[in-house]
Chains A and B, each alone.
Chain A
Amino acid sequence: MKENKILTGRGGKYEPLDVKGYEADGGFAGLKGALAIGPESVIEEIKRSGLSGRGGAGFPTGAKWEMAAREKQEPKYFICNAEEGELGTFKDKVLLDGDPWLVLEGILIASYAIGAGQSYIYINGEYEETVKLWEKLVVEARKAKLPGDGISGSKSSVDLQVIKGKGLYITGEECALISSLETRRATGQLKPPYPTQRGLFGRPTVVNNVETIANIPVILSMGAEEYRKLGTAKEPGTRLFCLSGDVKKNGVYELETGSGTLRELIEEFGGGTKSGRGVKAVQPGGGTSAFLSGRSVDCKLSDEAIRQAGSGLGTAGVIVYEEGKSAVGIVKGLLDFYGRESCGRCAPCRIGVVRMKEIIERLFHGKGTTEDLEHLREIGKACVSVSTCGMGQAFPLPVLSALELFPEDFEAVIAQAPA
């Protein structure tokens, strides 16, 4: 299994603010190509490439752009989502720091394709140095002569605001992110209307993840046909796998989808588990993805294969847990986090996460009963089916899958409980 660095290959090859260095290394070929074929053909090309969103939900990027481009309302907005708050996910930072001009080029192409007047990049507030870098980068970009400058009548085509996130996990969800930019409480929203119809300030808005955006210039410079040859037929391209947890070497590895198995990723790139014991469980798509048991780690690294195994590729944040850990403790840790971060807009998530946390804590301290397990299942399923946004629909998945896969761990803590 070998990396194929179509996105991360240029990382660190030029000084982050050096636009000439980027250009000398083949930069802006995608943007030039986009300007030559026009917005509609750009969207067609992205649709043909089969690119889907890399922020967790996997929505087809070309279709999203087309929906926004079709809307008549002006102005339109483009937002690059660099909030990246999901547990076990740290791939966007690699791109933002290592090859910022690639991401900027993607933002310019996207804004051009959908006809956005103003664009934003919303960066996780914990990435302080990255925010500083991007503020300088925008100044440099306005000074530099970029392809496309002057075509919209303005001197520079770069109309990008760098926004530093203010410490809430939920702002990674697109509707909450939009509320935040409107100077409101960050909360999920009922859909439809979708942001592509009525988004920021009620205008058509496209929100894309950093990794998605980094794919855009690459697709346009190599062509959709070539791009489709990478990865599997259903999910073309590469994914940045963030390997963390109980492995010897954490890191971000760019692999074509379907090019290997979870086991190979853990063993070849992660150097195996920390203690050398076997793998007990893996969360393959960030902290809100369902667990796979150690027996399922031979599945291929594609969303399709991982879904068949019972989870999803999500953000490709692969968190490994080794044998000897109790699922109760792991789930308690996850619920501690999500319990703090529920935005409180809808009842199932707001109440459900607290009740589930209480039950898990009771179990963890050896005071749980078998009825508690049934309650956990019931509340979890309710949250999944009726929560407003992706967070409420997803945070119970690890709990539900843990109950399914590791019932013995829960039984063990119940057996300790005084009768």
Chain B
Amino acid sequence: MEKFGTARYQKMLNDIGELGVENLFGFLGKVQDTFGYVPREVIEDTARRTGLSPSRIYGALTSYRDFNLKLEGDG
């Protein structure tokens, strides 16, 4: 698990090429597996890039057992 950083996140975005609705779920899964959670700024940024609303992404993520919005044990 890595500490969340903008540079690392940018690299992940570059690796995936173009982010769209077609690869968003897989990408968010990678973010979760890399940092241990999906930070708020990632929800906002991916929403901007895909044209979905942040609430839609938030609603989806909170319904899955293996997605976290906070780092576990971080209050």
Contact = CB atoms under 8 A, between A and B. Distances in A.
Do A and B interact with each other, yes or no? Answer: yes
B25 A183 contact: yes
B49 to A, nearest CB: 12
B21 interface: yes
Interface residues of B, number: 20
A166 B37 CA distance: 12
A87 interface: no
B74 interface: no
Contacts of A166: 29, 32, 64-67
Interface residues of A, number: 18
Contacts of A163: 25-26, 29
A181 interface: yes
B1 to A, nearest CB: 14
11 contacts: A125-B66, A163-B26, A164-B26, A164-B29, A166-B29, A166-B66, A166-B67, A168-B65, A184-B60, A185-B60, A186-B64
Contacts of B26: 161-164
B32 to A, nearest CB: 8
A185 B63 contact: yes
A166 B57 CA distance: 14
Contacts of A167: 64-66
Interface in A109-145: 118, 125
Contacts of B59: 184-185
Interface of B: 21-26, 28-29, 32-33, 52, 56-57, 59-60, 63-67
Interface in A183-205: 183-186, 201
Contacts of A165: 66
A369 interface: no
A62 B38 CA distance: 40
A165 B33 CA distance: 11
B75 to A, nearest CB: 22
Interface of A: 118, 125, 161-168, 180-186, 201
A348 to B, nearest CB: 20
Contacts of B56: 183-184
Contacts of A125: 66
Contacts of A184: 56, 59-60
Contacts of A164: 26, 29, 33
B17 to A, nearest CB: 12
Contact of A183 (B21, B32, B65): B21
B33 to A, nearest CB: 7
The 9 nearest A-B residue pairs measured at CB: A167-B65, A167-B66, A166-B64, A166-B66, A185-B63, A183-B25, A183-B60, A163-B26, A183-B24
A184 B59 CA distance: 7
B57 A201 contact: no
**Which residue among B23, B25, B29 has the maximum number of chain A CB atoms within 10 Å of its CB?**
B25
A164 B50 CA distance: 20
Given A166-B29, A201-B21, A183 B64 contact: no
A168 B22 contact: no
